[in-house]
A and B are shown apart, each in its own frame.
Chain A
Amino acid sequence: GENVEQHPSTLSVQEGDSAVIKCTYSDSASNYFPWYKQELGKRPQLIIDIRSNVGEKKDQRIAVTLNKTAKHFSLHITETQPEDSAVYFCAASRGGGDNAGNMLTFGGGTRLMVKP
């Protein structure tokens, strides 16, 4: 089955700096890679996703890059703000957004702390 590794487990940055979280996956058939933000006591919320037919996707201060050959993908947050402080999870699946029933496998999570 799929195995997703995520690094670092904790990340502390100064407000305004950039933060980068990296994940690797093992299943070459995985083609959908979402990122979730989970604030304390709340459900994981999808913040951005990428499919294997593109190498990069950007949404305002958030971007995700994918290297299918190396089987790794990364989340980039620029101009970090204190409200970005949360736990971030990467995940991988053989499909997503297609109601086909493929499961998501999660990385171990990264606790991001943005210091004002």
Chain B
Amino acid sequence: SAVISQKPSRDICQRGTSLTIQCQVDSQVTMMFWYRQQPGQSLTLIATANQGSEATYESGFVIDKFPISRPNLTFSTLTVSNMSPEDSSIYLCSVDLQNYGYTFGSGTRLTVV
């Protein structure tokens, strides 16, 4: 399977600030997916990032709050903007690999204080 590198692994941020999370894959993929996992909860899809076009956001998530970049087929960033304590979660990137299936980055544990 491919290697997905995600950073930072964790951060503690002040409310009102922004954090950008990076996801790097060692093979080219069509789509990259960004998930949020709130404490003790399941994974919820934030958006799907396709190279060369605007990301597609799921209901309840908006571009102003979670801007995404996808400059090439191996890299994406998710920014959590104007953070509040409710944004404290684990954020995970994911890709669907040929003949393997969906695999996840190591996650970013975000705490907003």
Complex: chain B residue closest to A103, CB-CB: B45
Complex: chain A residue closest to B109, CB-CB: A41
**Nearest Cβ distance between residue B53 and chain A, in whole angstroms?**
11
How many chain B residues have a CB neighbour from A under 8 Å?
25
Q: Scoring B residues 42 to 53 as 1 if CB is less than 8 Å from chain A, else 0, what string do you get?
A: 111100101000
Complex: chain A residue closest to B103, CB-CB: A46
Known: A97-B96, A99-B30. A104 touches B42 (CB 8 A): no
**Which B80-113 residues sit within 8 Å CB-CB of chain A?**
92, 94, 96-107
Residue of B30, B33, B42, B97 touching A109 (CB-CB under 8 A): B42
Residue of A42, A96, A108, A109 touching B102 (CB-CB under 8 A): A96
**Number of contact residues on A: which range applies?**
20 to 34
Q: Scoring A residues 28 to 68 as 1 if CB is less than 8 Å from chain B, else 0, what string do you get?
A: 00001010000000111010010000000000000000000
Tell me the complex Cα distance, A107–B105, Å: 19
Residues on B lying within 8 angstroms of A by beta carbon are 29-31, 33, 41-45, 48, 50, 92, 94, 96-107
> Assuming A34-B101, A99-B97, A106-B43, what are 8 further A-B pairs, CB within 8 angstroms?
A32-B101, A44-B43, A44-B92, A46-B102, A97-B96, A97-B98, A105-B45, A106-B44
